[in-house]
Structure 1
Amino acid sequence: MDKFAHIRMILGFILSLSIAHLLRGVTKFIVHPTKSRPYWIHLLWALYIFLALVYFWWWEYRLSQLHEWTFAAYSLVIFYIVLYYIICFLLFPEDLSEYEGYKDYFFARKQWFYGMLGATFLVDMADTFLKGEAYFDRLGPEYPIRVAAHFLLCMVAIRVKNERFHGGLVILFLLYNISWILRNYFVE
């Protein structure tokens, strides 16, 4: 078995757990509709993370072109997907009894959520460098601006308590991510 096949299996396991955790969290609203009320911002972040996970699996295919795998590269990619798993768990904890619902929970734990989400953008930059200079250049000048803007917005979101800001932010992230995927991966 080559190294990438082995690494892809581990990535797939953690990614599968992440998606399963998100789906389990969302289906709880169907199975137990009166137990916890959904919160629209929280649900949109769950949708954003689901889309990011699907996108993650797609763009990690480019790692198959990496000629030399090192433990550092392996560790970076594993760390990257582990960040997503943590985000999924932060979105849907096992117990909400300390909180009045998902809205209360989201704002109580937004520092962790946005901190981890912000970290994914920084790790994404390192991951992109792993795929080579040609791949990085192909993404154009928008890519580093995208990474910096998303990271900075996550850092601002840690401090802001305004619900409209958080609602606007998740809508902006969703629309931009969809646009990015369509412009960069549906034109090949």
Structure 2
Amino acid sequence: MIISLSLARLLSGVALFIQHPGKTKVYWIHLGWVLFLFVFLVHFWWWEYHLHAVPVIDVTVYLFVILYACVFFFLCVLLFPTSLEDYSGYEHYFMSRRAWFFGFLALAFLVDLIDTAVKGKAYFESFGIEYPLRNTAYIALCVVAALTPSRRFHAAFLVGALLYQLAWMYRAFDLLD
């Protein structure tokens, strides 16, 4: 349910650009992270399907997954606030809130490691060394993104992250299932 609310927040936010063209200044890097998060949410939904392999899902695991989903909701809210009245557009908003956004994104990748471990050692190891290296790299890049206002860095990080995430999803799930 929380993931559905997160997707709805993203889709409603994008719909505002169609409903009110020209009302707010669009920022391509912001929209890119919207797309990245959409892909990540779809990935999460599929990823959680593998909880069926966990022999017993107790209340701890249940609450953990709910809290993990809440991280995604906060990311979506950070991408589409209820108001932009204090900002000149999405570029100004996004860059001023980048520490929060990338802090939560780093948290999502950290929690992702725990979530995968919950599904069992064999499942975790099925992704090889690339998986923990991937998450560690994402976390490190999120820390840099939170700290730097460099538009070039943000553009490169976004493009690289989006391409890698799509490739990762395809390789990790189409080839394993």
The interval holding the TM-score normalised by the smaller chain is over 0.9
Q: Which residue of 2 aligns with 1:143?
A: 131
CA contact (8 A) 1:29 1:37 kept: no
Inter-partner Cα distance in structure 1 for 2:63 and 2:142? 24
CA contact (8 A) 1:18 1:84 kept: yes
Q: Which residue of 2 aligns with 1:38?
A: 26
Inter-partner Cα distance in structure 1 for 2:25 and 2:88? 9
Post-superposition Cα deviations, 1:28-83, rounded to whole Å, max 9, x if no partner, equal: 00100121021000000000000000111001000011112222211211111100
CA contact (8 A) 1:111 1:158 kept: yes
For structure 1, the 5+ residue unaligned runs are: 1-12
CA contact (8 A) 2:102 2:146 kept: yes
Q: Which residue of 1 aligns with 2:110?
A: 122
Inter-partner Cα distance in structure 1 for 2:104 and 2:17? 25
Runs (4 or more) in structure 1 with deviation over 2 Å come to none
SS in structure 1 of the partner of residue 26 of structure 2: coil
Residue among 156, 167, 170 paired with 1:182: 170
Q: Which residue of 1 aligns with 2:89?
A: 101
Q: Which residue of 1 aligns with 2:9?
A: 21
CA-based RMSD of the aligned residues comes to 0.8
Q: Which residue of 1 aligns with 2:45?
A: 57
CA contact (8 A) 2:25 2:88 kept: no
- How high is the TM-score relative to the length of structure 1? 0.92
Inter-partner Cα distance in structure 1 for 2:147 and 2:34? 21
SS in structure 2 of the partner of residue 29 of structure 1: helix
**Identity, % of aligned pairs?**
45
Q: Offset at 1:126?
A: 0.4
Written as runs of structure 1 = structure 2, the 5 A alignment for 1:53-92 is 53-92=41-80
CA contact (8 A) 2:30 2:90 kept: yes
Q: Which residue of 2 aligns with 1:170?
A: 158
For structure 2, the 5+ residue unaligned runs are: none
Inter-partner Cα distance in structure 2 for 1:171 and 1:72? 36
Q: Which structure is richer in relative contact order (CA contacts within 8 A, separation 6 or more)?
A: 2
Inter-partner Cα distance in structure 2 for 1:59 and 1:108? 31
Inter-partner Cα distance in structure 1 for 2:48 and 2:17? 31
- How high is the TM-score relative to the length of structure 2? 0.97
Inter-partner Cα distance in structure 1 for 2:71 and 2:128? 26
